[in-house]
Amino acid sequence: MPELLKVYDTYDCLIRILFCMKSVISQKNRRMPQRNGAFTLIELLVVIAIIAILAALLLPALKGAKDESLGIKCMSNMRQMALGWRMYAQDNREFIVLASQSGTPNDPLSKYAWCQQEEDFTDNPKNYDPSVDITVGPLYPYINSYWVYRCPSDTSVIKHNGGQLLPRVRTVSMNFYLGGFGGYGLGGSVGNLYPVYMKTTDLIPGQSPGPSDTWVFVDERQDCINWGNYATDMAGDVPYEPALFAFSEDMPGMYHNRSAGFAFADGHATIQHWLDYRTTPPLDPSTATDGGPAEPQLNVPRDVDVRWLQLHSVKAIPQ
């Protein structure tokens, strides 16, 4: 890995310096009366300094290597999610699992939501037990591992029975515009401009961003995640007014050095690095009550990361 190679090069350089110093000292000692083979005080101080420098260089490098390995694991999880999503559609005449249930009692389409969970920080089994919702969802048979629903860098936990800390079961959310609320869109002056895609065959270029540019799953911030969907705020997209860019309720993760894992409709996965600092504010310590920094709305005019999300979520219906 690049960080470890840098440490190795530095270590090699320091060792060469030490040997040079040792050679100089040895030549000097040849002109002095013979003494035992013990190190001099100067030599010991040099060795201690080298050890201190190596430790200072190695610890950040090891952290960077760990972050990189977790990012690779996250990409693997995302690719597995994308392939499962595609296999489900292939077995169901290209109809896709829905981003979330409708919220209307007895709605027949709600059973096709990829998960029914509304995640929070309460001691509810849905938050820590994957058998309550994750493993009984329509997508799970195509994935068959509940570990991929959680980013390996997600640190969120709940207090079970008042004391035991248990990891929450889900970090991943699904693009709202792939199935919406049980087939329904957001509505309103902005929401009505955008379609809800119900089949993979809806994702054709011109009608959508296209399969390779339409994201399906994202690692969402652990202090924002709630329903199974992630609804990109499309304000400022049509007409183009970047001063209106905002995050509403949902915000992407920042688990891998200010980045988030994404899975796309064509099956590929990637880690998207965020460029605007406003996209990655610190985790909110009061998440259990207010749902993170995007609740109810975080205005971020001209945030280039918001624009990236808009261009890869949905395409407006031609007017």
* Residue 144 Rama label (left phi>0; alpha psi -120 to 50; beta): left
| pLDDT score for 257 | 85
Query: Letter for the amino acid at 105?
Result: P
Query: Letter for the amino acid at 15?
Result: I
| pLDDT score for 43 | 72
Based on the number of CB atoms within 10 Å of its own CB, is 175 exposed (0-12), middle (13-18) or buried (19 or more)? buried
CA 100 vs. chain centroid, Å, equals 20
- C-beta separation of 183 from 202 below 8 A: no
Mean pLDDT score of the chain: 86
Q: Which token pair is 293?
A: 């920094």
pLDDT category at 40 given cuts 50, 70, 90 is confident
| pLDDT score for 42 | 77
Facing residues of 181 across strands? 100, 184
pLDDT over 70, % of the chain: 81
Q: Is residue 5 over pLDDT 50? A: no
**Alpha carbon separation from 294 to 8, 194, 310, 317 (Å, rounded):** 43, 21, 16, 26
| pLDDT score for 41 | 75
| pLDDT score for 8 | 47
- Asked if omega into 60 is within 30° of 0 (cis), the reply is no
pTM for the complete prediction?
0.80
Residue 308: enclosing H or E segment and its boundaries?
helix 304-311
pLDDT category at 7 given cuts 50, 70, 90 is very low
Q: What is the largest CA-CA distance in the chain?
A: 97
Higher pLDDT: 165 or 256? It is: 165
For the ranges 42-51, 92-101, 208-217, 260-269, which has the lowest average pLDDT?
42-51
Other C-beta atoms lying within 10 Å of the C-beta of residue 61? 18
Interval 280-297: pLDDT, tens: 999 876 655 567 899 889
For the ranges 13-17, 210-214, 235-239, 250-254, which has the lowest average pLDDT?
13-17
- C-beta separation of 117 from 124 below 8 A: no
- Tell which residue, 217, 112, 238, has the closest CA to residue 173: 217
Q: Is residue 4 over pLDDT 70? A: no
| pLDDT score for 73 | 87
